[in-house]
Amino acid sequence: MSNERELTAAQRMIGDFSPKIVELTDNILFGDIWERKELSPRDRSLITVSNLITSGNTEQLGFHLNKAKENGISEEELKEVITHLAFYAGWPKAMSAIIVAKDRTCNKPRRAQHQCPIFTS
């Protein structure tokens, strides 16, 4: 595992600190649960992003916004998810989520707000 490209996100973030959490994340969560055929990856992403927003757990939201894009969900759809959830989960949770989404790629001060995509390419 000397090559950084071979490491999973969990291995890079916490592999040296908590190998068991990494093992469970890589093998069970992403290796089994995310691969089950009963729900599409797109549906799993919508569910996961919605749950992170409604529970106020925005620490993992940036990663899952990008995963949602990989799974076929557009930026406009994710903005609409956040807007829709504002009325069910609460305005503060939606505002926190939209800030995470915006900050994911809009941390350059010269970019106009309307030109700032949620996702990285």
Compute the distance between CA of residue 53 and CA of residue 65 in angstroms, rounded to an integer. Answer: 11
pLDDT, tens only, 56-110: 999 999 999 999 999 999 999 999 999 999 999 999 999 999 999 998 767 544 3
Give me the pLDDT at residue 1, please.
46
pLDDT, tens only, 29-62: 999 999 999 999 999 999 999 999 999 999 999 9
Give me the pLDDT at residue 106, please.
72
Give me the pLDDT at residue 121, please.
47
pTM higher than the cut 0.85: no
Structure tokens at 107: 């941390």
